[in-house]
Structure formats: C-alpha cells, structure tokens
C-alpha cells in the first residue's frame, strides 16, 4: 500500500471514529431533555443507577419497595448506568411489565423477594401460572365437553403449557375435579368453533394477556393484573416526563397495591358473559363502557350483571374481603376450572344452623396469618398471637375475619370499615346444613333487584 493510500485509509478511519463518537454524544444528550444534571442513585450494595436522570417524577412503586433500597434494575432489568434510552432499556424484563408471568420469576421471585414464606403460602411466581385465570383451562374444557371434542370435564389444555407441582396422580385429580398433572397447549384442528373460541374468548382477559400483540393490555399481564391499579383507556396519568400520555398499554401510575378494590377485579370480571352457544364474549350493555372500573361509579349499578343474584355482602364488601390469598393466587395445585379453585363458602364466616363459624387460634409469632395480614391498607389491624380467625375447609385462615368477644367481625382489607358478621345459628334461617353453597344462600338473600 502506498503512503498516499495509507494516509487516505487512516483519514477515513478517523472520520468514521469521529462520526461514531458524535453519534454517541448525541445519544448521551437525550437525558438533558429532562433535566440539567445526571442523577446518580446510590444503592445499599454500592451499585449506582442513573435511571432517575430521565424518569424524574416517577412514582415510588410502593412503600415496601423504596427506590433508595431497590432502585429500578432489580425489578425492571436494563442497564442502570446508561444515559441513552436504547442502551438503558436493553434487557428490560417483560418490556413495560416485569410482572408478566414469563418474567415474574426473575423480576419478582428473586431471593429475599416473593418466594416461599412458610408451609401454607407458596411462592406466587410458582402458583399463579397454574390457576384458571392464567390458563383459561376451564373455558376450553367446558366448550370441548359441550361440543364433543373431549368426553369428560378433566382439564387437559390451556393457553400456555404448564406442569403442576402437586405430584398427584391422574385418578386423584379426576376425583377432585381438578386437572391433569400437565396442561398441553391448546391447538386448533381446522374446526370453525375452535377458531371462534381462540379469537373471541382466549385472545385476551387472562393473566398472560399482553404477552403477544395486545399492546393495550400489556399492563394487565401477570402480577400487575391485580396489583397495578387500573383505569379504563390504559394511558399513563402520572408525573414521569418520559412516558407518552396518549399511548395505550400503560398503567395510570407507577404503583403497586395489595389493598385491591373491586374495580380492579372488574377490569376483567363482570364485564359481560361468555356465551357457550355463540362461542363469543358478550359485553354488558346496561352501563357505559368504563363505568364498571370507575371508582366513583355507583357500585350498586356497576357491580351487577343482569340476571345474576348477589347477597348484600357481595355488594357491600370488596372482592378480596372474602376471597383468600391461596384461593386467588393458588396453592400449588393445577386447578382446571373456577369451581375447583374456589375454597371459600358462606358458612366459613356465617356458620350454619347447627354451629357458629369455625375459628383457629394464632399460636405463635411465626404463624403464616401474621405475615399475611401485613400487606393491606395502612390502618388494617394486623393479626397477633391469640387471635381467633375464621378458616376455610382447606385450613386457610381469613386474616380479616376474627372472633372479637362474642362477635365475628370482618375488617375490610381495602378501607377502614369493619362489619359484624351475622351468624345463622340462632337466627330464623331454616336452611339445611348440606345446602350452604352461595347459590343456596342467594335464594333468600338476593339483593340485585333483577
């Protein structure tokens, strides 16, 4: 190579290097759109993160996840040292939502986080993928049985493939009306009804929503479906300047809650009915769109689905006031449908004509119920040693339903309200002991005015 050619080559390389450096400098200047200085967040382990340089005004996710302790990367992933968006967001867990079931184990199930807490409560990152809200196994099985695709009601298929942790054999599972020890991925057989089921009933409204192309529902996937407050429209309303307030698919704020109001549950439930005959979802027409999730709406109007029956407690209380932790998030069994997953009963709190509600005594400071009572609203009375708690037939205590003197009292998990729970024993109720399901109680106690 001649000296002339060598100089030309060196000049070209220098020019390209300067272009790369200039490009990187331009990228680094992006953070200056949101402030005049770099924000270095020093964490307890000595790590420094710079995410708040751009995400100024971002809401603290919860009081149990203080940003000065957890930072951002421990949950979200990404590069906490980078100052340009592309590099900083490289490796984000779950995209916008690290609580999506595909990544919750890595984001939420780290050592010291949401892992096993005792012999009663298992890690939710293990149990939640097995429940009907995550698999849609119940809907698939009901349609399959109705239309003859399978000959029994044992759930074998889901929208995702999952394996149970229960170790029970098939016969035991069939006896308990649960599911096979593994759910295969539901696949289509060129059957028009199966195609309708897939498109109309399985495409959304489950805990794996947003894992594919449903951009508007990405913030409702996984743990966030319950624990991130929902507002109709899916747009951000907080103070982080980097988040587009007109772009769908965001939570209203960067927040988590365990005091979950009924409106959060209604983001999926009570929106309408799944028609078996039409194989499609029929949304409600009796209320405006969005009213059912509006915290300011008239609950007596928003809660009811026309034709259904409701007792007063189902309307007055929030959903989590009755439904227990293991019932909602699973106990490790692969439950194939909603009926199999349900463990609560009216007599758990109200007793029967023969006996008052059963209770169990909290015997030590290490009791699971004490731990489970610490995560509701600020004024929730935590369980203490000696408390007598109502209990399900599965042995799970109601941490908010307690014997107080001669009364059974329910403390709301969402508000400061408390209620005396009337007992069937000694009342005018003549219901048979073997007729204690919710539908039995509704015959006399329906308040829906339908």
What integer pLDDT is reported at residue 211 of this predicted model? Answer: 46
pLDDT band at 216 (very low <50, low <70, confident <90, very high): low
Asked if residue 339 has pLDDT above 80, the reply is yes
3-state secondary structure the chain: CCHHHHHHHHHHHHHHHHHHHHHHHHHHHHHHHCCCCCCCEECCCCCEECHHHCCCCCCCCCCCCCHHHHCCHHHHECCCCCCCHHHHCCCECCCCCCCCHHHHHHHCCCCCCCCCCCCCCCCHHHHHHHCHHHHCHHHHHHHHHHCCCCCCCCEEEECCCEECCCCCCHHHHHHCCCEEEEEEECCCCCCHHHHHHHHHCCCCCCCCCCCCCCHHHHHHCCCHHHHCCCCCCCCCCCCCCCCCCCCCCCCCCCCCCCCCCHHHHCCCCCCEEEECCCCEEEECCCCCCCHHHCCCCCHHHHCCCCCCCCCHHHHHCCHHHCCCHHHHHCCCCCCCCHHHHCCCCHHHHHCCCCCCCCEEECCCCCCHHHHHCCCCCCCCCCCCCCCEEEECCCCCEEEEEEEECCEEEEECCCCCCEEECCCCCCCCCCCCCCCCCHHHHHHHHCCCCC
Instruction: Provide the percentage of residues in the chain whose pLDDT is more than 90.
Output: 37
What average pLDDT does this structure show over 303-315?
A: 79
What whole-number percentage of the chain has pLDDT above 70? 86
Cα 6–Cα 10–Cα 12 angle in degrees, nearest 5:
115
> What is the average per-residue pLDDT within 196-202?
86
pLDDT in tens, 21-74: 544 444 456 777 777 689 999 999 899 999 999 998 899 999 889 999 999 999
98-130 pLDDT, tens digit each:
998 989 989 988 877 887 666 688 889 888 999
Q: Any idea where the domains of the chain sit in the sequence?
A: 31-92, 124-321, 344-445
pLDDT at residue number 324: 95
Note the pTM of the prediction, 2 decimals. Answer: 0.85
């Amino acid at each position: 190579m001649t000296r002339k050619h060598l100089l030309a080559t060196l000049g070209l390389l220098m020019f390209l290097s300067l272009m790369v450096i200039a490009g990187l400098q331009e990228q680094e200047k992006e953070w200056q759109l949101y402030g005049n200085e770099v924000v270095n967040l020093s964490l307890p382990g000595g790590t420094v993160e710079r995410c708040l340089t751009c995400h100024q005004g971002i809401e603290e996710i919860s009081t149990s996840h203080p940003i000065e302790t957890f930072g951002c990367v421990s949950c979200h992933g990404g590069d906490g040292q980078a100052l340009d968006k592309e590099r900083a967001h490289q490796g984000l867990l779950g995209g916008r939502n690290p609580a999506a079931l595909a990544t919750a184990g890595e984001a939420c199930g780290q050592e010291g986080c949401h892992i096993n807490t005792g012999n009663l409560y298992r890690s939710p990152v293990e149990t939640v993928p097995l429940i009907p809200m995550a698999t849609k196994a119940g809907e698939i099985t009901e349609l399959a049985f109705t239309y003859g695709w399978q000959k029994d009601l044992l759930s074998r298929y889901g929208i995702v493939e999952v394996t149970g942790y229960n170790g029970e054999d098939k016969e035991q599972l069939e006896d308990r009306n649960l599911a096979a020890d593994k759910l295969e991925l539901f696949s289509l057989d060129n059957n028009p009804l199966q195609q309708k089921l897939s498109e109309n009933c399985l495409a959304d409204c489950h805990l794996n929503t947003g894992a594919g192309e449903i951009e508007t529902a990405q913030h409702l996937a996984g743990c966030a479906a319950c624990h991130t407050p929902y507002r109709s429209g899916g747009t951000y309303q907080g103070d982080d300047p980097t988040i587009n307030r007109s772009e769908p698919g965001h939570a209203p704020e960067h927040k988590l809650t365990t005091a979950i109001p009924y409106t959060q549950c209604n983001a999926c439930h009570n929106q309408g009915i799944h028609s078996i005959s039409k194989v499609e979802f029929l949304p409600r027409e009796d209320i405006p769109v969005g009213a059912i999730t509006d915290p300011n709406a008239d609950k007596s109007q928003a809660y009811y689905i026309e034709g259904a029956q409701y007792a007063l407690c189902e309307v007055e209380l929030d959903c989590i006031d009755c439904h227990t932790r293991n019932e909602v998030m699973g106990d490790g069994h692969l439950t194939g449908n909603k009926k199999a997953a349900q463990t609560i009963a009216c007599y758990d709190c109200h007793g029967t004509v023969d006996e008052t509600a059963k209770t169990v005594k909290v015997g030590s400071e290490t009791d699971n119920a004490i731990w489970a009572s610490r995560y509701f609203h600020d004024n929730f009375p935590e369980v203490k040693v000696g408390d007598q708690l109502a209990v399900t037939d599965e042995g799970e205590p109601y941490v908010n339903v307690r014997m107080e003197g001669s009364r059974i009292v329910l403390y709301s998990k969402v508000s400061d309200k408390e209620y005396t729970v009337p007992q069937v024993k000694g009342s005018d109720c003549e219901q048979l002991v073997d007729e204690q399901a919710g539908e039995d109680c509704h015959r006399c106690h329906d308040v829906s005015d339908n």
